[in-house]
Amino acid sequence: SLDKSVSRSYSLLFWRKKPEETESDADKQVLYEATEEGNRLTQEEIEAKCNKSRLNVEHRRIQMGQVPYDRSMAVFQDRLAYKRRMLGRYGDQTGLSVAICWPSKKELAEKIEYENIAYPFTVSEVVEKHRIKVEKQKEARLERQKSIAAKYAKLETWKEDLVKKLAKKEADALQAKLEKDKIIEEVKKQFAYKIDVNDVKFQEALELKQKQERKKRKEERKKALEQKMLEFVASEKEK
């Protein structure tokens, strides 16, 4: 049995087809063409394999500058405004006629009406209005420059007036302080003993004294005003 198996192995190893069983060249060519036909890919399959972005077909077309849809996918895509926009963006790729961009009679009438309301003036009138506006702006600018120059000329005078005003304010504050100190000393003398300035009795006496002083100053101002009026009337009579 061992000898039979060895002999069978050798027969399979060195077995050859008989000359009549060999494939012809024509058969090989047909087999090769069939294999090539099966391995050949369509253009769509090639593009699909090359597309590594994983975008939708429509989105990838937009990125590539191509028309996203071959046919209408929604109602708004059948509208004239949408078709005009697609034609303006993608041109001849859309297959649309440029005649759709021309306005209809209704659109043309609405456009004319809108322009008559929004732009009621002619070109010459607009130019004239613009010229007048520019002239007014120029005059306003010159007036402002003159005003600034005049104010700048008075700047030193204003500085001096401000210094005098501040000096007068300080002097008035100092005078008010001296008068208050004087009133406090006068009130202290009214008491036969040494009293605290925060004492209730002292504060009441101080308030009363201050009211008297304010009334006195008011009377003095009133008399000074009456004196000025009399002097004014006398000067008018002399004229």
- pLDDT tens digits for range 103-127: 989 999 999 999 999 989 888 999 9
Model-level pTM greater than 0.75? no
pLDDT band at residue 19 under the 50/70/90 scheme? very low
Alpha carbon 22 to its chain's center: 85
Choose the weakest-confidence range: 20-29, 69-78, 210-219.
20-29
CA distance linking residue 73 with residue 57, whole number of Å: 13
Is the pLDDT score of 54 beyond 90?
no
Average pLDDT of 118-146?
94
CA 161 to chain centre: 45
**Is a pLDDT exceeding 60 seen at residue 239?**
yes
Q: Collapsing DSSP states into helix, strand and coil, what is residue 103? A: coil
- Residue bearing tokens 């607009």: 126
> Stretch 24-36: mean pLDDT, rounded?
54
Please answer whether residues 191 and 184 qualify as being in contact, where contact means their C-beta atoms are separated by less than 8 angstroms.
no
**Residue 36's pLDDT band (boundaries 50, 70, 90)?**
low
% of the chain residues with pLDDT over 70: 82
Name the pLDDT band for 206 (thresholds 50, 70, 90): confident
Contact 49, 43 (CB under 8 A): no
Q: Phi first, then psi: give them for residue 198, nearest 5 degrees.
A: -90, 0
Provide the pLDDT confidence category of residue 148 given band limits of 50, 70 and 90: very high
The rounded distance, in Å, linking the Cα atoms of 87 and 97 is: 8
Confidence of residue 180 (pLDDT cuts 50, 70, 90): confident
Give the pLDDT of residue 40.
Answer: 67
- Examine the pLDDT at 150 and tell me if it is beyond 70: yes
> Six-digit token pair at 2?
């061992």
Determine the pLDDT at residue 21: 44
Classify residue 17 by its DSSP letter: -
pLDDT of 179: 82
Please check whether residue 95 is in contact with residue 105, taking contact to mean a CB–CB distance below 8 angstroms.
Answer: no
pLDDT, average across residues 128-137: 96
> In what helix (H) or strand (E) does residue 21 lie, and over which residues does it extend?
none
**CA-to-CA dists, residue 124 to 128, 129, 162, angstroms:** 6, 9, 54
Q: What is the mean pLDDT of residues 87-114?
A: 90
pLDDT at 28: 52
- List Cα–Cα distances, 92 to 86, 89, 216, 220, in angstroms: 10, 10, 102, 100
pLDDT at res. 188: 76
* Token pair listed for 23: 């494939």
pLDDT band at 13 (very low <50, low <70, confident <90, very high): very low
Please tell me the number of Cα atoms within 13 Å of 201 on its side-chain side.
7
SS3 track for 47-101: HHHHCCCCCCHHHHHHHCCCCCCCCCCCHHHHCHHHHHHHHHHHHHHHCCCHHHH
